[in-house]
Chain A
């Protein structure tokens, strides 16, 4: 998991939200809701901060964040790219694919490109093992992807996009 450093302002916002809910563990969902509303998404560092403030384990916070699909852990790019890291894809070279995407977009897993177009994520098995290795862009599935194809796939999306709204962390 890449580390991001939260700005002082973000830290204050999160602490403030927690204190409006009296740093009560029972209010976790409301705290997360409010934090996502203000920040756009809930990166690991924000979850850690919340866990700290509410005096609970970060595993529990993460448990709740992953239970509700409403919560996002990365700022979604306009075209979220996901690489399947399930066993089948992994064995068939998902790592090289991931590496190639990172290289081309110049971002790490869990980040989005500065223009907000692409974000990169890893998934566990998407259930398309027969097509391994699998890459998804938004809802669209690309199967049996070879590193050489990455440039072409990205190019499909590169033109004619609107710059989405962004949040500063």
Chain B
């Protein structure tokens, strides 16, 4: 390996050629402030426009200060990261950025989590010596995301996520000079664009320019209305991340405290989306087996590979970009929507409440779920199956608001009948989990044999594209997994060209799956956090007494009492859906 020796702040350091000064410094624990730069290690995600100049350092022998994030190390280089000259320049740069930034922190959704705010605090900016023009972009509200571009600092992280990682192409840098900003084509609103609402732009935006639509107010209203029965479901990935908002180490599981907190917030029933995930496996797994059996029986028309359909951003992605493939994904609704549908039929009947008086709230790691629950097909006579979807972040805010001391809460259980779940339901929260859960059930149903080993490690990991072959008692089943829509695109193109060898493919929009969802606590560019959340999810699974969806006793009961069997007419009506060609409807 080609090593370079240099000196940073009087300390010798030796790093690989091609390393930036910023990374070299961080290797010896020196933190150079930065703003536009972002790197998600192991996920191959890097944003390096070199635009903000916050990271400038002094390099001996150079007249100008050098931006550390995009200056490569060189032999014998001598760097001073915190010289007074560098600090002065940094302060000036941040003051200039602030001179065209609303001083809105008091009511900004990002306050406390804003990189610009912490930078200004850290640099001790108390006064802005520059007076300049103020941007006046119009606010853009969509079902899931709000764009307040006056707060945009043009770091272009969102553009990088949307184009390079997601390959969606909804956003681009437009205009120039003072009017430069990141926007959809023709400055149209996001909801007219090809945006999937994956929220990955929101997850990386350093400021409050991109945030999720805030539904906490609506939930507070519902909870304070005595005429409403308000129930809540919480997605698997939430329990592996919520603790971070209360100072827990990343990867801390807070399932029991989560249930306790929701109960203290006043929800009448505290349920679990994991229950609906188990239900999804029975429907989707059965659909897969039906397709496989038809295929093996010589049916040439059958659609294979079958694609998972529980991620709403992924659904919107193929509706826009691959509408000709819209018969390939499973018709199963997502767990969030299955839950809503069952809650407002089976459960509403059970407790004798009219669906209009039953409010279903979901806690999701996800921004797209807000959009999903607003889709028309998921409502009955204008009454949505899921009324409001809150992100993990919004829930944390609500818990703080209610003065609940999260860390000292006891561990409590979910309520029944929609709160019982298996390990299979839990792993929906990470990339590879949905397909592993499906395999656990499909294998046993198909072969009639008991699985010896439940951990399909060959399906696990963080690589963007993975493949594995599972032996179904002599029949090799080929599985593909993609997370990040750019990776999904590659698998879809193979299908389009008839090259795909897979029987089933799992697709999740967010890097890491829902653990890395757009609604999770901000990772601030630290990809380690995602890995720790993933490990937590597998820990939760391993500790569950039941780990196969078809063994969930309440699921069995639901079929006996209400649905009949998987893919029955009733199940079809309540738990399945159809997809639309959106390639023309919007630009």
- Chain A residues in the interface with B (C-beta under 8 A): 1, 44, 47-48, 56-63, 66-67, 85-88, 90, 124-125, 127, 129
Contacts and interface: CB of A to CB of B under 8 A. Distances in A.
A87 B136 contact: yes
Nearest to A3: B587
A67 B184 contact: no
B184 to A, nearest CB: 6
Given A1-B188, A58-B587, A59-B169, A66 B174 contact: yes
Contacts of B170: 57, 59
Contacts of A86: 136
B133 A127 contact: yes
Interface of B: 133, 135-138, 163, 168-176, 179, 183-186, 188, 193-194, 587
Given A57-B163, A67-B174, A62 B138 contact: no
Contact of A57 (B137, B172, B183): B172
B138 A66 contact: no
24 contacts: A47-B185, A57-B168, A57-B170, A57-B172, A57-B185, A57-B194, A58-B587, A59-B169, A59-B171, A59-B174, A59-B184, A59-B185, A62-B172, A62-B174, A66-B175, A67-B173, A67-B174, A67-B175, A85-B138, A86-B136, A87-B136, A124-B138, A125-B136, A129-B136
A134 B15 CA distance: 58
A124 B174 contact: no
Residue with the highest number of chain B CB atoms closer than 10 Å, among A48, A56, A60: A60
A60 B550 CA distance: 47
B186 A44 contact: yes
Nearest to A85: B138
Residue with the highest number of chain A CB atoms closer than 10 Å, among B135, B170, B186: B186
Interface majority SS on B: helix, strand, loop or mixed? Answer: loop
Contact of B174 (A63, A87, A125, A129): A63
A125 B100 CA distance: 14
Contacts of B137: 124
A86 B135 CA distance: 9
Contacts of B176: 66-67
A139 B194 CA distance: 36
Given A66-B175, A85-B138, 12 more contacts: A57-B172, A57-B185, A59-B174, A62-B174, A62-B186, A66-B176, A67-B175, A67-B176, A88-B136, A90-B138, A124-B179, A129-B136
A88 to B, nearest CB: 7
Contacts of B138: 85, 87, 90, 124
Contact of A48 (B133, B135, B587): B587
B356 to A, nearest CB: 37
Given A1-B188, A48-B587, A57 B173 contact: no
Top 6 closest pairs, chain A to chain B, by CB: A57-B169, A63-B172, A59-B172, A125-B136, A62-B185, A58-B185
Contacts of B183: 59
Contact of B186 (A1, A87, A125, A129): A1
A123 B33 CA distance: 37
B194 to A, nearest CB: 8
